[in-house]
Amino acid sequence: MERDQFIAVPKNTIAVLQKHGFQFKKQLGQNFLIDMHVLDKIIRAADIGPGDICLEIGPGIGSLTQALCEATADDGRVYAVEIDDRLIPILEENLAAYPHVHIIHTDFMKIDLPAFFEEEKIDRPVKVVANLPYYITTPIIMALFESSVPLASVTVMVQEEVARRMQAKPGTKDYGALSLAVQYYAEPYIAAHVPPNCFMPRPNVGSAVIRLTRRPEPPVEVEDEKLMFKLIRAAFGQRRKTLVNAVTGSPELGGTIRLADGKDLKVSKETIAQALEEAGISQTIRGEALSLQQFAELTNVLAKQADH
């Protein structure tokens, strides 16, 4: 297809919106991409090629979807999940030339991903590509990784600040629970920075394209994954406090908790302090200074203390 025919060309986007009398819904975080160069960068970053299976979340009027369809060719598959019922007829019209696109009208967060992959007979890792609404970026990314479905990578347009947080290292201001969660499941790489004028309407902040390449195995060995993430959330829930105080003051970890192996762990200042000492970590440390490896080691020590 000639480049001037793509939906993402500004005049073509305006024509689609005017034809259908479409009004943006602020609460859905709708900002449509109108820059072909950025579209090219997304396709390259996601490494989309013929035969690939792609899952897009929030396709809007189909600007990125069309590029995915062109890149995957007829022997690929593109699944586009859209929550806004006003956009379904627009997508069906704009993508009518592509028999390998599947438009799904639902809330992505309500999809049972393992069941969906089984129903669609998806037999190889999927490449997720999306221009995500800022308000739901983190829940969507975590839902993808925690679902255990076969993913090759997740390449998404997100708020620039969120992209920085995803690849942040210990001790930096951007480092937090999201950094650790993403880096446990994937290797993050910021592929492009995108200014507000590449969207319609313009958002108030800059964006970035980040590729999260799924790790074949987590980079750390941890006895109880859920306990580790509870510790992480507690540590960054009150990040200016020491880890001991943040964890024991957390509603998620206060008192006695049940571990994955069925044992009970009584969480107290003494328990956390003892575990830190055994793991060779200072008892006055804050969570923001701990690496993923240290959180895993602390979790493993605590898991051994259960029922003791």
Do 24 and 171 sit in the same domain of this protein? yes
Task: Give the Cβ contact number of residue 95 at 10 Å.
Answer: 23
State the pLDDT confidence band at 228, using cuts at 50, 70 and 90: very high
Cα 40 to chain centroid, rounded: 21
Give the pLDDT score at 269.
92
**Mean pLDDT, residues 72-100 taken together:** 96
Do 38 and 182 sit in the same domain of this protein? yes
| CA dist., res. 10 & res. 304, Å (int) | 59
Do 39 and 63 sit in the same domain of this protein? yes
Do 91 and 165 sit in the same domain of this protein? yes
Task: Select from 158, 192, 214 the last residue of a domain.
Answer: 214
- Is residue 125, in this structure, part of any structural domain at all? yes
Query: When comparing pLDDT for 123 and 152, which is higher?
Result: 152
Length of the chain: 308
What domain range is 97 assigned to? 3-214
- Is residue 230, in this structure, part of any structural domain at all? yes
| CA dist., res. 155 & res. 175, Å (int) | 20
Task: Select from 163, 183, 214 the last residue of a domain.
Answer: 214
The CA angle 92-95-96, to the nearest 5 degrees, is: 75
- Is residue 219, in this structure, part of any structural domain at all? no
Do 49 and 71 sit in the same domain of this protein? yes
State the pLDDT confidence band at 211, using cuts at 50, 70 and 90: very high
State the pLDDT confidence band at 307, using cuts at 50, 70 and 90: low
- Is residue 220, in this structure, part of any structural domain at all? no
State the pLDDT confidence band at 132, using cuts at 50, 70 and 90: confident
**Mean pLDDT, residues 125-147 taken together:** 91
Tell me the per-residue pLDDT of 38-62, one tens digit each, with 9 for 90 and over.
999 999 999 999 999 999 999 999 9
Residue corresponding to tokens 């679902």: 147
pTM above 0.85, yes or no: yes
117: enclosing H helix or E strand = helix 113-119
The answer to which of 67-71, 192-196, 200-204 has the lowest mean pLDDT is: 200-204
* CATH code at position 282: 1.10.8.100
Does the pLDDT value for residue 74 go beyond 90?
A: no
Residue 184: C-alpha distances to residues 28, 102, 217, 264 (Å):
29, 31, 9, 25
Task: Select from 214, 244, 264 the last residue of a domain.
Answer: 214
Does the pLDDT value for residue 135 go beyond 90?
A: no
Q: What are phi and psi of 56, to 5 degrees?
A: -110, 135
Secondary structure of residue 266 in the 3-state scheme: strand
Q: Which residue(s) pair with 158 in the sheet?
A: 208
Does the pLDDT value for residue 213 go beyond 80?
A: yes
State the pLDDT confidence band at 260, using cuts at 50, 70 and 90: confident
- Is residue 48, in this structure, part of any structural domain at all? yes
Please give the tally of structural domains in the chain.
Answer: 2
Does the pLDDT value for residue 292 go beyond 80?
A: yes
Do 48 and 100 sit in the same domain of this protein? yes
Q: Say if residue 295 is exposed, middle or buried (CB neighbours under 10 Å; 0-12, 13-18, 19+).
A: buried
Do 290 and 167 sit in the same domain of this protein? no
Among 213, 175, 182, 188, which residue's Cα sits nearest to residue 291? 175
Do 196 and 286 sit in the same domain of this protein? no
**Which residues are CB-contacts of 261 (< 8 A; sequence separation ≥ 6)?**
223, 224, 303, 306
Amino acid at site 207: S
Does the pLDDT value for residue 268 go beyond 70?
A: yes
129: enclosing H helix or E strand = strand 126-131
Task: Give the Cβ contact number of residue 121 at 10 Å.
Answer: 6
Q: What ranges make up the beta strands (E) of 160-306?
A: 186-194, 199-200, 207-214, 255-258, 264-267
